[in-house]
Amino acid sequence: MAPYFETAKSFADVPITDDGVDTAVFLLASTDFVNMFDLLGGGVFAFVQNDLRSNITGVRHRFDAASAESPTLEKLVTNECSGGAGDRHGTACLVRLLRGLWFTCEALRNMQRDRNAELHTCFKRSYDANLKHHHSFVIRSVVSVAIRAVPHRRDFYIRITQGGSHEKFDEELTKWLAGLERIVLRLKAFLEEGGYGRI
């Protein structure tokens, strides 16, 4: 059986048109990305996974409620927010989802750039740069403890590649992260320019 990373939907494969980022494929890629961390076992990344899954559910709920008006993430947001000051739960979830994905993206990029750094160092760097300013002191303390529980770099690669090639995983991960960066930067500009939220 092929390793999970070879069969999961990649962010590199999410269609982006002039209208925006394909909602359904983005949700699939996000779910597959989060599920990849299940391979580490024992809820090691539970603090990240739970947040991401909750926000994926919120965006999916909005998409399911208005799929015809939400073929792209941009249209999902504009459609939801055009109704006045009502419920904007899907948009809020999308903002938080993108923050969490960006945090994870940058942590994994840190891991690829600094081949000698342990994973907890890579995740700490990313947290400090991307999420820390969004959290209260209590949340920061919880995250600090959780980051310390991430596996050693060697163990991460063994589990995540499932016996597959580490080099092939790194190649695929580079594509995933480049695709995710393209999506996040596009949506970051869209959300901020429209006053919908800040990543």
Concatenating the DSSP letter of every residue in 11-54 gives GGGS-EETTEEBHHHHHHHHHHHHHHGGGG-TTTTHHHHHHHHH
Which residues are CB-contacts of 22 (< 8 A; sequence separation ≥ 6)?
14, 15, 16, 71, 72
What is the reported pLDDT for 71? 97
Alpha-carbon distance of 28 to 32, in angstroms, equals 6
What is the reported pLDDT for 106? 85
Q: Give the residue ranges of the chain where pLDDT is below 50.
A: none
